[in-house]
Amino acid sequence: MSAHGAEVARGERFEFGANWQRFLRLLSDERIAQAERSLREMLGLATLDGLRFLDAGSGSGLFSLAARRLGASVHSFDYDPRSVACTQELRRRYFPEDERWTVAEASVLDESYLEALGEFDIVYSWGVLHHTGAMWRALENIWRRVRPGGLLFIALYNDMGAESDRWRRIKRRYCGLPSVLRGPYAIWAMLPYEARDAARAVLRGRPQDYIRSWTAYSGQRGMSRWRDIIDWVGGYPYEVASTDAILDFYGRRGFSPVVVKGNRGLGCNEFVLRRDDSGDPAGAVGPSL
């Protein structure tokens, strides 16, 4: 059994790949187009022609596909074998036998693997590094793959103190449940939040706003709300960081912010950071790895 499979069997890791396999059944041209728009808007680039794009933790493969369609040469990897299979399936569907899109099974914690890849114009890792079980080490490893002058695009769960600690316990419990109980448990965990949002919409006299939060959800990065809920409730290991902590960590490593989208709640903070042209900063220090 692989290291990933052993962790899943012990209830120590969520099977993101199994979730993504279900998501692929819902994939549409509209979702792909929205993923492309999301990349263009956050990166501030109309095209990725001539650029090297690293998707660290490719998940469904949707954003690897979007980057490739925008013209980039793409390397995708993931620790979860089923996520790797999803990304390979999208490559097979849309870019069969394409030499400018490679897919591999690997860990962002494997420094030797990453070093062998070289440097990239864009390194992308959305909602991944906080699930490695060693987030700060992953953050350290990934920036070294960004060429001087290149961009790092990451998203990480916001640090909400005691509330984040509570969700860590919920996620750990989810992963220890039999599969038949996980869906009902996810509904139970999210019910207070969904009820609150629905009530707020009704009190504003706009119940349609809550309905649209489900029906129009694919407009946000082209994803599925239910699949994202399962990802959220089950997503373990689980670590968090404030925007200030990340900006400080990368500022001392020669990165400056291009776009920062902070989240006031439990969701992800998004960062697009540019690596200083001078290259590897000397004496960078940060949280213990």
Residue 225: what pLDDT? 75
Give dist(CA 7, CA 285) in Å, integer. Answer: 31
Question: Is 14 in contact with 79 (CB distance < 8 Å)?
Answer: no
What are the structure tokens assigned to 31, written together? Answer: 């979702």
Describe the crossing of helices 225-234 and 162-176 by its angle, rounded to 10 degrees.
Answer: 100
Residue 7: what pLDDT? 67
Residue 286: what pLDDT? 44
Residue 84, SS3 per DSSP: helix
Give dist(CA 201, CA 92) in Å, integer. Answer: 42
| Segment 182-202, tens digit of pLDDT | 889 999 988 888 888 788 888
Type of residue numbered 278: S
Q: What is the pTM (predicted TM-score) of this model?
A: 0.82
Residue 69: what pLDDT? 97
Sign of CA pseudo-dihedral 164, 76, 144, 69? negative
Residue 223, SS3 per DSSP: coil
H-only helix segments in the chain: 3-9, 16-23, 29-43, 62-69, 81-94, 111-117, 135-143, 162-176, 179-203, 207-215, 225-234, 243-251
Q: Which residues of the chain have pLDDT under 50?
A: 219, 222, 282-289
The domain made up of 3-159+238-275 is a member of CATH 3.10.180.10: no
Q: Give buried/exposed letters for 205-225 (b at 16+ CB in 10 A, else e).
A: eeeeebeeeeeebbeebbbbe
What are the structure tokens assigned to 45, written together? Answer: 């680039």
Sorted by where each begins, the domain ranges of the chain are 3-159+238-275, 162-234
- 104 CB-side CA count, 13 A: 14
The pairing of beta strand 120-126 with beta strand 268-275? unpaired
Residue 265: what pLDDT? 85
| Segment 93-143, tens digit of pLDDT | 999 999 999 999 999 999 999 999 999 999 999 999 999 999 999 999 999
Residue 217: what pLDDT? 54
